[in-house]
Structure 1
Amino acid sequence: MLEMAQFRCYQSKAKAGNWREDQVLEETKMKEYLEKKEKGELVAQKVDLLKQNILQPVNLSVTNDGNLHFGDVVMLVNMGGEHGECSVVSINCDIHSLTNVPSLGIQAPCQVSAGSSIQPCTRTAFIITSVDSSPEGATLHFEQNFALKTTSGFARGLYLTSDLKSFQKCAKMSRLQEVYLDKSDCFLSWWKMVHFDPQERLEYEGLPVPANVKVLIKHCKTNQALAVLENQVFWNTYGKEYEVTAQTFLDSHKAEQDNNHWILCTSDPAGDGLALLKLPQSAAKNQFTDTHLQNDSIQA
């Protein structure tokens, strides 16, 4: 009986069970795979295509006078405070955010996030855009309305937008006021620069906004300040990132906290990387003061 139990009644090459159905199923799967691969519709191919376009390097503007101007291409960088991580406002798109109409690009509306990769590219570059008929190249001033627009082409020239939060429309994780990208240039996409120190805010109103120093970016309609939430962490196609919202966070002295402080980063005039990385914050603060002392003396 033991010998009969060990005896095999058919060879390993023999077809048993629903072999034909299994074979057809495997052939169908392979055919579908090859068709998708040929058309570039595989998930891995879509991710590669997305990264190839969204991470394309972009040249930031060079400011010779130290101030920001309409038409400048900048990055919005948050230094993260004493215990936080440096992050930059980025387009938060995945393969489901793409459209082929009229050409390959991002479809609106699109989410934003704060990533830790401080690299000027299509994903992180924003253009300071006039909303009051100021000509391109004109200096941006504190309390002056402006818009922040992504680059054209793949990023579609979408505007950084926000609106009053509601039960249906708010940030996904924190449930605070949502910040996103949209194609319409309207009052919801208007922002203004405010000096980061409340005690000096009135003094600097109307003066030119210097590049590469800390400022507040306030939403004109809601008066809430742009913020990065380092306690709201999520993972996406680009790694670990943080939620971006429009919410003013005040400390015990009623001054905005570090997650409301932003630096509009430009390129180094010497052509050697980012000006932000070449200038410590202590030096940046001195440059801020020196710049406006010069402006005051010129106006006088």
Structure 2
Amino acid sequence: MAVRNLYGPGVRMGNWNEDVFLEEERMRDFLEKREKGELLIQRNRRLKKNLLRPMELSISQDGFVHYGDKVILVNPDHARGEEAGMFLEGDMCLCVSPDEVKAQLCDELEVPCGVSAVQTTVPTGRNTFTILSDSSDRSAVGQVLRYGQSFCLGIAAGLECKTLYLSSDHRTLLKSSKKSWLQEVTLTDENSHLNCWQATFLDPQLRLEYEGFPVRANEKLVLYHRHTNRALAAHRHLPLRTYFGKEVEVAAHTHLDSHRVEKPKNHWMLVTGNPRNTATTMLDLPAPPTDDTRAVEQAMGIST
């Protein structure tokens, strides 16, 4: 004869009254947090919505970069080079890379916040930087950025639009990049000399001649950190697991070849918006035919 279980979930045994009150307390706490928007899933959605919001880049009318312009920093595709087997293909864009754990606990980005390179060139809230003066001089807005000048790269972070600055400092035993152990590059809200960078002409033999010349938009250059004299580099062979998936490491280190010239890891472009379509960049424009040089001559200001 089978023995029937005389007790079920509805039978009040033990501390049943305490369990009921605890369940009601948990439900009240859940509803209160949901009304205030303090649930982890709500914070996660707000942070992603803010960082992935579409942005419009500045359109350069004269072909140069100006203070106050909104640009994206792109490491151009160099998969056809010597290290093609080690590198990811495509243009890589400098992006905000928040910590996975800290991003779940607060709507604002924790500082210092990390950066990484992503295989995309779509302007969003996490990769659109503003060219800022190294001082609080607001009259510099609209002026042309020149080679050798000190400037800052700022990005709006969080729901309060707090500005974070691209910063770096000397490598120590306790502070370095995660994979390469080189000089770390982060985002900070402190306005100091550690946030200053300078644009250097790509060809080393012409750098003295181009010192003080305006910086052209959408052309390759090298970004040096003023305090440490290290160049910004994208390490495509060092993947990172970030809040948004698999990306690659960004550090401050000058990679030189046998001719003492910066390698493509240190090549960057200050990309502006496409005047034909504000949702895209100048990289999306089709290249002119090789036999038709009128577009290039017009961009260089050469009359034909």
TM-score tier after normalising by the smaller chain length: 0.7 to 0.9
| Aligned partner (choices 278, 291, 296) of residue 285 of structure 2 | 278
Task: Give the AA of the match of 1:248.
Answer: T
The more displaced of 20-29 and 47-56 is 20-29
1:159 aligned residue: 165
Answering whether residue 46 of structure 2 is matched by residue 64 of structure 1, we say no
Counterpart in the other structure of 1:267 = 273
1:15 aligned partner:
11
Contact map agreement 2:40 2:104 (CA 8 A) in 1: no
* Equivalent residue letter for 1:8: R
Query: Structure 1: where are the runs of 5+ without partners?
Result: none
| Equivalent-residue separation in structure 1 for 2:40 and 2:230 (angstroms) | 38
Is the CA contact (8 Å cut-off) linking 1:149 and 1:160 kept in structure 2? yes
Q: Give the TM-score normalised by structure 2.
A: 0.81
Q: TM-score, normalised by structure 1?
A: 0.82
Offset, 1:276: 1.6
Contact 1:213 1:288 in 2 (8 A): no
Q: Give the total of aligned pairs.
A: 287
1:140 aligns with 2:151: no
Which has a greater percent of helix? 1
The runs of 5 or more residues in structure 2 that have no matched partner are none
Question: In structure 1, what is the Cα distance between the partners aligned to 2:259 and 2:29?
Answer: 63
Aligned AA for 1:251?
D
Preserved contact between residue 60 and residue 120 of structure 1 (Cα < 8 Å): yes
Distance across 2 between alignment mates of 1:282 and 1:144: 35
Once the two structures are aligned, what percentage of the paired residues are identical?
A: 37
Q: Root-mean-square deviation (CA), in Å? A: 3.2
Per-residue deviation at 1:60?
0.7
Check whether the contact 2:72–2:129 (CA below 8 A) recurs between aligned residues: yes
Q: 1:69 and 1:250, CA in 2 relative to 1: closer, same or farther beyond 3 A? A: same
Cα distance, 1:122–1:13 mapped onto 2, change above 3 Å: closer
Match in the other structure for 1:228: 234
Q: How does 1:23-172 map to 2 (within 5 A)?
A: 26-82=23-79, 83=84, 84-85=88-89, 86-93=91-98, 96-97=102-103, 105-131=108-134, 135-151=140-156, 154-172=160-178
Question: Where do residues 289-300 of structure 1 align in structure 2 (5 Å cutoff)?
Answer: 294=301
Query: Does 2:245 align with 1:244?
Result: no
SS at match of 2:94: strand
Letter aligned with residue 87 of structure 1? M
Q: Deviations over 1:127-152 (max 9, x none)?
A: 11122657211111111111111137
Which range moves more in the overlay, 86-95 or 184-193? 86-95
In structure 2, the CA distance between the partners of 1:29 and 1:98, relative to structure 1 (3 Å rule), is: closer
Alpha-carbon distance, 1:197 to partner: 2.6
| Kept after mapping to 1: 8 A contact 2:103/2:110 | yes
Q: Which moved more, 1:157-166 or 1:266-275?
A: 266-275
Q: Secondary structure at the match of 2:273?
A: coil
2:224 to 218, 221, 233: 218
2: CA distance between counterparts of 1:17 and 1:117? Answer: 60
Q: Which secondary structure does the structure 1 equivalent of 2:140 belong to?
A: coil
Q: Tell me how far apart the structure 2 counterparts of residues 129 and 32 of structure 1 sit (CA, whole Å).
A: 44
Shift of 1:253: 2.8
- Distance in 2 (CA, whole Å) between partners of 1:291 and 1:193 is 24
Q: Deviations over 1:161-201 (max 9, x none)?
A: 11111112222332211111122222111101112232333
CA deviation map 1:200-254 (0-9, x unaligned):
3333222211111111111011111111122322222222212211111122332
Q: Which amino acid aligns with 1:79?
A: P
Amino acid at match of 2:97: N
